[in-house]
Amino acid sequence: TVRTLDGDWAKPVEAIDRAERGDVIVVDAGGGVTGLWGELASWSAHGKGIAGVVIDGAARDLDAILDLGFPVFSRHVAPDAGDAKGHGEIGVEILCGGQRVRPGDWIVGDLSGVVVVPRERAQEIANRSLDVLEHENRVREEIRRGSTLGKVQSLERWEKVG
């Protein structure tokens, strides 16, 4: 986790050196709009085996980052780069998008968004997620066989109102 100021890319880049393979770097830049992560930071993080970065602030160089295939989730996209000023902290509890994030929490993201899983509930939530996946796989198979989502979920059981 990183807390920094809008556009100050020093601590996020330092976090790359402190992170371990498979980690996700989560940055609280207060929702700022000046770029504090870009192509070079992504190359550095990718080369170290970091799984991705989530920024409550702005990223830049998205075309190059997409070509690299490194997962970057940011509140804003900006063409300009900030400056390395060194303000902030690494490895502290932060807020990212209004969500509390602590070092060691699980971060899961895809094209639909990012979720923070508190580390003390990670196993429970992972098991519940597998149950949901299993249910959705069964529903998907019934739809492939010709049913509809409404029939599979028994939506007609509710009384019509109005």
Q: Is residue 158 predicted with pLDDT exceeding 80?
A: no
Tokens of 66: 């997409």
**Residue 52 forms part of a structural domain:** yes
Full-model pTM: 0.89
What is the span of the domain harbouring residue 22?
2-117
**Residue 162 forms part of a structural domain:** no
CB burial readout 55-77, b (16+ within 10 A) else e? bbbbbbbbeebeebebbbbbbbe
In this predicted model, what pLDDT tens digit does every residue of 8-21 receive, in sequence order?
999 999 999 999 99
Please give the pLDDT value at position 154: 85
Confidence bin at 161 (pLDDT 50/70/90):
low
In this predicted model, what pLDDT tens digit does every residue of 65-91 receive, in sequence order?
999 999 999 999 999 999 999 999 999
Neighbours of 143 (CB within 10 A): 13
For residue 58, the surrounding DSSP H or E stretch is: strand 52-59
Domain count for the chain, please give it.
Answer: 2
Please give the pLDDT value at position 10: 98
**Residue 88 forms part of a structural domain:** yes
